[in-house]
């Protein structure tokens, strides 16, 4: 199968197109044909010097996937062949998303919302899940609370939208280049929330 492999740590020139062995799903895994992936800051850090993440070149990196289930392991219960899914592959020492096929345990896989294209869905898992973990799971943000988000960049922009949608008052810091984008994200989240309230 086709893959983009880093043959060493370094700049973008370490990427090389290669044919590698297609994985087979284990008993609890789904095999996904990758339709889209995205690039995160962690991809760049691992490409430059990823031994801290258990990566040993040659390796396939990349940590966002949107695709279609091609095969399922014998004990998989939540997914069938043909399901559209998205998820974040395990980072530490695992094969990443810059490949034609990827095998993942069904416990980390979610169904792709029908309203999102594969490209849109692939932009969400790592940054979006990190923001959700911070705002909802750990922060327990609910309506009426005030949330301070330092740096409304990749993860922060998701956190701004999640907190605003939850009904919190959002205070966010941003670089001069992203101030307008951050304000627009808050407005969009508030508009979406109002639409949901008015339609119920």
Comparing CA positions, the residue from 80, 83, 55, 78 lying closest to residue 68 is 83
Give the separation between CA 103 and CA 97, rounded to whole angstroms.
10
The pTM (predicted TM-score) of the whole model is 0.80
Q: Do 19 and 69 belong together in one domain?
A: yes
Same domain, yes or no, for 18 and 98? Answer: yes
End residue of a domain, out of 122, 150, 184: 122
Sequential pLDDT tens for the chain (200 residues): 999 999 999 999 999 999 999 999 999 999 999 999 999 888 999 999 999 988 999 999 999 999 999 999 999 999 999 999 999 998 887 889 999 999 999 999 999 999 999 999 999 999 999 999 999 999 999 999 999 988 777 788 889 889 988 889 888 787 777 777 767 766 766 665 554 444 44
At residue 99, the pLDDT reads: 96
Same domain for 163 and 81, yes or no, is no
Whether residues 98 and 169 fall in one domain = no
Q: Is the same domain home to 175 and 131? A: yes
Domain count, the chain: 2
**Residue 134 has what DSSP assignment?**
I
Domain end marker among 89, 122, 155: 122
CATH number of the domain enclosing 149: 3.40.50.720
Which of 102, 122, 142 is the last residue in one of the domains? 122
CATH of the domain at 57: 3.90.180.10
């Amino acid at each position: 199968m086709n893959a983009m492999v880093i043959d060493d740590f370094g700049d973008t020139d370490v990427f090389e197109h290669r044919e590698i062995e297609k994985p087979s799903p284990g008993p609890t895994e789904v095999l996904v044909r990758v339709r889209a992936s995205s690039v995160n800051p962690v991809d760049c850090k691992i490409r430059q010097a990823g031994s801290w993440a258990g990566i040993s070149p040659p390796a396939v990196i990349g940590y966002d996937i949107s695709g279609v289930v091609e095969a399922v392991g014998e004990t998989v219960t939540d997914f069938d062949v043909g399901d559209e899914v998205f998820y974040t592959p395990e980072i530490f020492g695992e094969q990443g998303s810059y490949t034609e096929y990827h095998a993942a345990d069904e416990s980390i896989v979610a169904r792709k919302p029908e309203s999102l294209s594969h490209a849109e869905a692939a932009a969400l898992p790592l940054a979006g899940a990190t923001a959700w973990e911070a705002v909802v799971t750990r922060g327990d943000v609910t309506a009426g609370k005030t949330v301070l988000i330092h740096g409304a960049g990749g993860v922060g922009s998701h956190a701004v939208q999640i907190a605003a949608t939850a009904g919190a008052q959002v205070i966010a810091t941003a670089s001069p280049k992203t101030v307008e984008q951050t304000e627009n994200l808050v407005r969009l989240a508030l508009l979406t929330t109002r639409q949901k309230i008015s339609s119920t």
